[in-house]
Structure 1
Amino acid sequence: MSDTLADIPALSLADQQSDPDGFAQAFGQSFQRFGFAVVRDHGVPQALIERAWAMTKAFFDLPEEEKRAYFIEGGGGARGYTPFKTEIAKGASHVDLKEFWHIGRQLAAGHRFEANMSPNIWPDRPEGFRETFIELFAAFDTAGDKLLSAIARYLGLEPNWFDPAVKDGNSVLRLLHYPPVAADAPEVRAGAHEDINLITLLLGAEEAGLELLDRDGQWLPIKPPEGAMVVNVGDMLQRLTNHVLPSTTHRVVNPPAERRGNSRYSMPFFLHPAPDFLIETLPATITAENPNRYPQPITAHDYLHERLVEIGLIKK
């Protein structure tokens, strides 16, 4: 396998049906080597994806004051709109050049996680926004469950090991818009960072700009085939696996000066466990060569809160 993501063959999730162990090995090895994998035939319908792109662009084209009406002050960006230049990567000196919208899991009234997972906010327009993204959230959820099953197999766990962990999990679908930038803007649209969650499923990486930091210190551009999904390890999975599966640092760089007048859109799905899931190092990942880095377990809710403070979405 070549050590550039541009050359890594996209794995077909359809292969999981006929050869679950073979797919799990290929997917897990990509995760262990890069913290990333490229997956095609992921099962999210193309017509739904195209409808979601149209809705995303239509929303971000709305007047600034209309979008800001959906910004919840003090809400940590959990739901609704987060304005341009709000989020900053941990340790970064420049805020990210992006605006975004968050959609979470629809919970029934009185659900036990109601206090930890905010209700969704829905804009008045574009028409069909709510229905489109509830459907897309469910499709991402299904794909994510299949990929977690592969990871469980790779780690020597039961294929359904993650099922209770992510049932009613605090996952978030983010609609991202990187507006056109000035020729002298900082070199990154989104600073170098790691994701917080278990795994991230990303559509929209075909547009140039996404890069990962390889273990030799080189930045590798991520260029998946059209329609393929980029999947990466988040910090919760890294912690759970005692760094056997690494949460790789990644960023979104600005395009060449002649392309900076163009917007960039992407749709990451941050797959989270339930708030009460205890992130406790898996015993099989603890060895003499790799001692337990995290002897104190932590709930997913407490870990998420710590990280949201670090990136400026929640104020101390």
Structure 2
Amino acid sequence: SQDLIDGAYNAFVRFFALPTDIKKQYHVAGGGGARGYTPFGVETAKDSKYFDLKEFWHVGREVRDEKYAEAMPANVWPTEVPEFRDRALALYGALDALGSRMLSALALHLGLPERFFADKTNNGNSILRPIHYPPITTDDVPNVRAGAHEDINLITLLVGASAEGLQVLSRKGEWVPYTAEADTIVVNIGDMLQRLTNHVLPSTTHRVVNPPGEKARQPRYSTPFFLHPNPDFVIDVLPNCVSADNPSRYPEPITAQGYLEERLREIKLK
């Protein structure tokens, strides 16, 4: 519901307004950004020379199977914003349920059983990521708020960002601006689903550019939900996505956790 989204956003905005030294207390050293706070100037889009102009927080799955404990550490919560935990977990749960419904629809589209993804994502290492893009105060920064990239996971659900800047790369190779309506949830396909479907479902290349003029002086807030499979799920090309016209591009299977770690190194989080 909109109230649930607004409540979560209000808590996230309150956290990002805290002094930097307090926020940095929630940075988990050596944790690859898996939980808690990642400060400004760390994440860098793959193959980019410049870090992204953003800081963010990671909320993971709260009810965890012990066998995934190493891949899925416990959550961290900021005591300065007491409502942060409950509001973040409520939004996480709602988007996790919606994401499962989206995957059921995609399974049917791919000619798979409707519940194909259910037991492959029920302990998924999914992440809710509140992001703060601070105001840009000079005109000549080479960095952008988020460089061109594809998401790592299966699908991403994005609930209304607070300012313009999101652009999606079209099949013609043109950047198309996208502004979410207040009650719209954007769904992106990520690289894990692209790999699983042998590019039948291609991942969405997108970026967040710095808006022009005075609009760049405004902060931007965004909260994507990255839906991941269970860490031990083996990403192996689906047989019905291989044909004479589309031979398998990925003969070597890889676990979801192995793939995630490989990609985190590329974007400077590991």
TM range (shorter): over 0.9
| 2:123 aligned with 1:168 | yes
Partner of 1:65: 21
In the alignment, the residues of structure 1 paired with residue 131 and residue 180 of structure 2 have an alpha-carbon distance, to the nearest angstrom, of 18
Residues 81 and 163 (structure 1), Cα distance of their counterparts in 2 relative to 1, 3 Å cut? same
Partner of 2:111: 156
How far 1:187 sits from its partner (Å)?
Answer: 5.8
Name the aligned partner's letter for residue 258 of structure 2: D
Percent of residue pairs identical: 54
CA contact (8 A) 2:160 2:181 kept: no
The number of residue pairs the alignment matches comes to: 269
CA contact (8 A) 1:211 1:221 kept: yes
SS of residue in 2 equivalent to 1:120:
coil
How far 1:203 sits from its partner (Å)?
Answer: 1.1
In the alignment, the residues of structure 2 paired with residue 75 and residue 281 of structure 1 have an alpha-carbon distance, to the nearest angstrom, of 30
Partner of 1:132: 87
For residues 1-316 of structure 1, what are the structure 2 equivalents within 5 Å?
A: 45-108=1-64, 111-181=66-136, 182-186=138-142, 188-205=144-161, 207-314=163-270
How far 1:115 sits from its partner (Å)?
Answer: 1.4
In the alignment, the residues of structure 2 paired with residue 107 and residue 150 of structure 1 have an alpha-carbon distance, to the nearest angstrom, of 25
How far 1:186 sits from its partner (Å)?
Answer: 2.5
How far 1:133 sits from its partner (Å)?
Answer: 0.9
In the alignment, the residues of structure 2 paired with residue 297 and residue 205 of structure 1 have an alpha-carbon distance, to the nearest angstrom, of 35
How far 1:206 sits from its partner (Å)?
Answer: 6.0
Unaligned runs of 5+ residues in structure 1 are 1-44
How does the TM-score come out when normalised to structure 2?
Answer: 0.97
CA contact (8 A) 1:68 1:83 kept: yes
SS of residue in 1 equivalent to 2:229:
coil
How far 1:225 sits from its partner (Å)?
Answer: 2.2
In the alignment, the residues of structure 2 paired with residue 84 and residue 271 of structure 1 have an alpha-carbon distance, to the nearest angstrom, of 24
CA contact (8 A) 1:240 1:280 kept: yes
How far 1:224 sits from its partner (Å)?
Answer: 2.8
How does the TM-score come out when normalised to structure 1?
Answer: 0.83
CA contact (8 A) 1:107 1:119 kept: no
The C-alpha deviation readout for 1:59-118, integer Å capped at 9, x for no partner, is 00000000000001111000000000100000001100000000000135x711111111
In the alignment, the residues of structure 2 paired with residue 66 and residue 206 of structure 1 have an alpha-carbon distance, to the nearest angstrom, of 24
Name the aligned partner's letter for residue 259 of structure 1: K
Residues 205 and 131 (structure 1), Cα distance of their counterparts in 2 relative to 1, 3 Å cut? closer
